[in-house]
Every structure is written in structure tokens, then in C-alpha cells.
Copies of this chain bind each other. A is one copy, B any other.
Amino acid sequence: MFDIVLSGCDVLLRQGGRFCVEDGCDIAVTGERITAIEKSGHIGREAAREWIDVSGRLAIPGLINCHAHVPMVLFRGLAEDVGIESWFNDFIWPLESNLEPEDVYWGMLLGLAEMIQSGVTTVADHYFFCDYTAQAVQEAGTRANITWAVFGHEGEAKLNRTTDFVRKWQGAAGGRIATWLGPHAPYTCDDAFLSLCAQRARELGVGIHIHCSETHEQRELSLQQHGVTPPEVLRRTGVLDVPTILAHGIGITSADITMLAQHDVAVAQCAKTYLKLGMGTARVDEFRAAGLKVGVGTDGVVSSNTLDVLEQMRILALDHKQSAHDSTRMPIQQLLDMAFVGGAATMRMPEIGELAPGKFADITLLRQDGAHVFPRYDATANLVYSHRAGDVETVLCNGRVLLRDGRLTTIDLARVRAEVTQRLARLNRRAHDKRLATYPT
């Protein structure tokens, strides 16, 4: 007896290393896992507790957001068209100094609602007051790797708070929540603090999610100040001795890549942020050729404006073609491999990112009846270049329906909007002498 059968959908499969779409299938779910994918007609209605007709929908693995600061949705649209130093020092860090723990809870729920509506079921989140973000993930029903960001100047006491969080929430929500450590970046944490974080991560048996060589300018500043690149700072402080997610890495050099390939490193790519802030393009093809894991993320919405992984995938491919002046770069198959296989590898969650029996039932179903996805000569091209998050209709995570016919089942969005609305006036104040940290230039 299956718990749920999603009937009649076209399914994005990976066969012989290539993505293809098999039309007219039923996906059976038992508990938290996919237990069968068959051509429609093979599974009888009597074999399912719940039969959901999703005829004509495209089923893809739940999208994976490998780097985000989800509760920053609270500040959406507050820092437009500004330079990167001003973005940090005049906007982000003053704004974030207004945050109280409960703000983060409501912001996380709002961002999780946006992600579910956009077909995103898993996120690597890097933020503050993480007991509250974890609580929101538990309630929303999604999957997450959560790290509590910490700056070097906050010292060991604040690091202890984040290690307490790691212990408390590791494996919570029936295994949907993983917890890592999150020192902010080499430019906001000195070597001693990074070494301490690495030691703690080893003791806890967890990984580290950290910003690294976000821009070429950060690399040059590191070379000036430390004589080495940011990845080398991470190596010598022991950070690379544990599994890592390095966010952005636009300043990562070919020599860095050779070194990073000796470690268990993933790099998260958030192209919309890079274009919006004019940051440049990372050496993604080299990362992948060297065996680094690469996944797609959204970053926080104060730079990327949405938590829409599908849009990020598209912009990533477009940016690579444009920057290489070569339309054959980052072909559809490679992009899908990065988003799904690379995404699961980046999260160190081998049971997500693929629709196949035995995998977790993290499933996003998109409508295909809009004129913008017809004709459908190539369903993978449509997915990458024509579909939009607005096509997402039904979403499951861990075998549970979180979005049904466009309606959220676990989050009361009207309540969330009301709670956020009453906080806005306090949250959008900016006092320039009150900020979390200072961006160096």
C-alpha cells in the first residue's frame, strides 16, 4: 500500500548520466520516500491511500538552495543599485543589527513560504538566531542545513552559542534538519577564530558553511594582508579538514582549485547576486573538472530579490555563456547536473536531488499548460529557459504535501504577512554607527 500516488505526470529522470523526461508516469510515495515510478496504468488506485491527479504536470526533484540567508526576506528591496561596500556597511549590517530572535522566526517562515511556492524543498541557510530558523523549518516541513553565522569579533562565547545550537538541533525534525558551523568569512574572522571553529567542527563531526573569496577584490586584499588567498587561509586554519560549503568563490584562482580538490569542498553559486552586484563570474567549469562539488543557491534577497532557484539556474547558465563569449558553454545537461546532482552533493544529502525509488520524496510539480512552454520539443530546455517559478503547483518534501494546487499546507501566509508587517517600521531603520560588522576595503 502506497501512501500517495502522483498520477499522470511527466518525470525528469537521470538515465546513464543524462537527464530526460519520461511522459505519463505515476510516482508512488511510501512514508518519506519514493517507492516506485511506473508508466501510468501499472499502479491501481486501490494501491494508494491518496491518489493525486497531476496529469500533464512536469515532476522534478525538489529544488536545492545551497546558500541562502533566508530571513533577509525581511529587508527585500531595501538596498537597490548600490555599490558592494555601501551594500554591506550602509545597508545590510546596520539593518541586521535591528533583528530580534522572533523577527527571524517570522522572516524564516516567509522565506520558506516563498521557497515552497517556488519549488525549493532544501536550503543551506546561514543566519542568526538559528533556534528560531530551525523551529520554522520544523513547522514548514522542508529540509535544511542550518548554520548560525558568527563573526570573529564576537569571540568564543558567541561561538559556543552556535555549537550549542548544532548539538541541540542535529538530526531534528525527523532527520530533515542538519546543523553545521558558520564562521562568516575569512575577512571577518581572524586565523585564531577560524582555527577554533575548525576544531569545534571536528569535535562535533559537522561541516562548515562559510563565505570565501567572494570577489577578486577580496582575494587581492587577502594577498595584501595575509600573503595568501582566502582558500589558503581556510586550509591553514584547518577549516578544509571538515566538509565545507564555500559561498561564491568568484575570486578563487586556478591554483586555489588544485589545492581545494584535495579536500571535501563544495562551492555554492548564486549568479543573480553576482550580476546584480557586478561581482564577476566564478570558474565553475574548472571547479567541476577538478572534482569540487558545485551547487546552486539564491543568496539573501537583499541582493538577489527572490529565493527562486530556477531563476538562479537560468541566470547562471546565461552568465557563463556571456562571460565566455561562447553559447555552447554551460549546456542544459551540465546545468541540470549541477543543480540536482551537485546540489545534493553540496548538501551532503545523497538521498535528494533525484526522482528514483529509494530517494526521499522531495518532488516539485510544474504546470505545463502555459503558452510559454509550448511546443515542448525539449522538456529540459523548457525547464531551464522557459518555465518560471509561477508554474509550480504542487510540492512534496519528505513524502508530505507542502503545496497543493498552489496553496501552502503548512504555513499560514496571511498570519506571516501580518506578523512581518507589524515589525517593518522597526526593522528598516538604519543607524550607521550600529552595525554587525564592517566590510573591509
Give residues in A with beta carbon < 8 Å to B. Answer: 73-78, 80-84, 87, 110-111, 113-114, 117-118, 272, 274-281, 301, 305-308, 311, 315, 318-319, 321-329, 331-332, 370-372, 374-378, 381-382, 385-386, 388-391, 413, 416-417, 420-421, 424, 428
Contacts and interface: CB of A to CB of B under 8 A. Distances in A.
Contact of A82 (B81, B323, B328): B328
A117 B372 contact: yes
B389 A318 contact: no
Nearest to A277: B327
Contacts of A74: 375
Given A322-B274, A390-B388, A375 B327 contact: no
A279 to B, nearest CB: 8
Interface centre among A322, A328, A329, A417 (most CB of B within 10 A): A322
A385 B81 CA distance: 11
A111 B327 CA distance: 24
Contacts of A113: 371
A50 to B, nearest CB: 26
A306 B385 contact: yes
Given A77-B382, A372-B308, A381-B77, A327 B388 contact: no
Given A76-B375, A76-B376, A279-B322, 13 more contacts: A73-B375, A76-B377, A76-B386, A81-B327, A110-B374, A275-B319, A276-B318, A277-B327, A281-B322, A301-B386, A305-B385, A305-B386, A375-B421
A76 B371 CA distance: 11
B389 A276 contact: no
Contacts of A374: 73, 76, 110, 417, 420
Contacts of A318: 272, 275-276, 315
How many monomers of this chain does the complex have? 2
Nearest to A318: B275
A20 to B, nearest CB: 14
A109 B205 CA distance: 59
Contacts of A111: 371
Nearest to A116: B371
A322 B278 contact: yes
Contact of A81 (B117, B272, B328): B328
B278 A332 contact: no
Interface centre among A274, A375, A386 (most CB of B within 10 A): A375
Contacts of A82: 327-328
30 contacts: A73-B371, A73-B375, A75-B377, A76-B375, A77-B375, A77-B376, A80-B332, A80-B378, A81-B328, A81-B331, A110-B374, A117-B371, A272-B318, A275-B322, A276-B327, A277-B321, A277-B327, A301-B386, A305-B385, A305-B386, A306-B385, A311-B388, A371-B413, A372-B389, A375-B420, A375-B421, A377-B424, A388-B388, A389-B390, A390-B390
Contact of A327 (B278, B381, B389): B278
Interface centre among A77, A84, A311 (most CB of B within 10 A): A77
Nearest to A389: B388
Nearest to A335: B81
A308 B314 CA distance: 14
A353 B99 CA distance: 40
A330 to B, nearest CB: 8
Contact of A114 (B272, B277, B371): B371
Contact of A325 (B278, B307, B381, B382): B278
A378 B77 CA distance: 6
Contacts of A80: 331-332, 378, 381, 385
